[in-house]
Amino acid sequence: MNEKYILSCCSTADLTEEQFKAIDVEYICFHYELNGKPYLDDLGKSMNADEFYRAMSEGAQTRTSQINPEEFKQYFRGFLEAGKDILHMTLSSGISGVYNAAKIAAEELSEEFPGRKLYIVDSLAASSGYGLLMDKLSELRASGMGIDELYEWAQKNKKRVRHWFFSSDLTFYIKGGRISKASGFVGTVLNICPLLDVDYEGRLIPRFKIRTKSRVIREIVRRMEEQAEDRSGYAGKVFISQSACMEDARAVADLVEQKFPQMSGRVQINNIGTTIGSHTGPGTVALFFWGDVRTN
């Protein structure tokens, strides 16, 4: 563990336990319910992704809840008592109220630990896009960047993480009210796959209605060609997250690797975790990369 300060986030960064350990990032878990039974969103320990999405497909009801201020206080206190400063990045405030809960906890703890630093950053990101941001912060910390400088870097650069999502199953977008029942019915009949992104305020916004999965796969990669840092010369990392549709995710990854031969390593494919997945349901693929700053 880094002796100088702790890097921390929420489980909704949708990395694996092994990935979090590899980049030396701590995390705190959201909560969800499946048919009224409570679980921790604990990276698949309580219930793996296959079981979770199978249950959703069979009609299980899901409900999520964010981390509350008391949970944050208990979590942060352990690091502060050990003499560690903390930079914690939360799930986007455009999706959840968890940023406010973390801020409340930090303000109360600042009185108890006046000599320690506890920075809270709103990621304005979600799923493995949030994970991509944490991965970069870990690299910068390892290069020697101090907590104050890293905090400033995160605030300045977090909107450079681009997010594009598509779904081939509209069921849970209709349930969640993102798509009307009428539009969902028509979309299903016409084999429409909505293409969405995360905007400058960290909100998930529907952008395009594209017929057929093969077309939306090409279109999501075309968006990366238009927005990626250095365009076809992109040399950064690419993360994908998916919900029970690995074949579709692999198709996107193969096309990305073909179009961006200079990218850093292979595309990393993760599961969409149970918190985000409770709202997307199965059939969603999300693509994340470094690119143009998200603006209004």
Give pLDDT tens digits for 211-243: 999 999 999 999 999 999 999 999 999 999 999
| Lookup: tokens for 1 | 């563990």
Give pLDDT tens digits for 50-76: 999 999 999 999 999 999 999 999 999
* Average of per-residue pLDDT across 130-148: 98
CB 188 within 8 A of CB 223: no
Residue 295 sits at the vertex; the CA angle it makes with 232 and 138, to the nearest 5 degrees, is 65
Give pLDDT tens digits for 158-208: 999 999 999 987 776 666 665 665 455 455 545 889 999 999 999 999 999
Distance CA 220, CA 245 (A): 16
What average pLDDT is seen over the chain? 94
The per-residue pLDDT for 169 is 76
The per-residue pLDDT for 196 is 95
Distance CA 217, CA 224 (A): 11
Distances in Å between the Cα of 97 and the Cα atoms of 51, 67, 102, 131, 199 are 28, 9, 9, 19, 17
- Cβ-based neighbours of 274, under 8 Å, separated by 6 or more: 32, 39, 41, 44, 47, 49, 52, 62, 64
Give pLDDT tens digits for 78-132: 999 999 999 999 999 999 999 999 999 999 999 999 999 999 999 999 999 999 9
Distance CA 239, CA 289 (A): 7
Give pLDDT tens digits for 22-55: 999 999 999 999 999 999 999 999 999 999 999 9
The per-residue pLDDT for 191 is 82
Give pLDDT tens digits for 262-282: 999 999 999 999 999 999 999
CB 228 within 8 A of CB 263: no
The per-residue pLDDT for 283 is 95
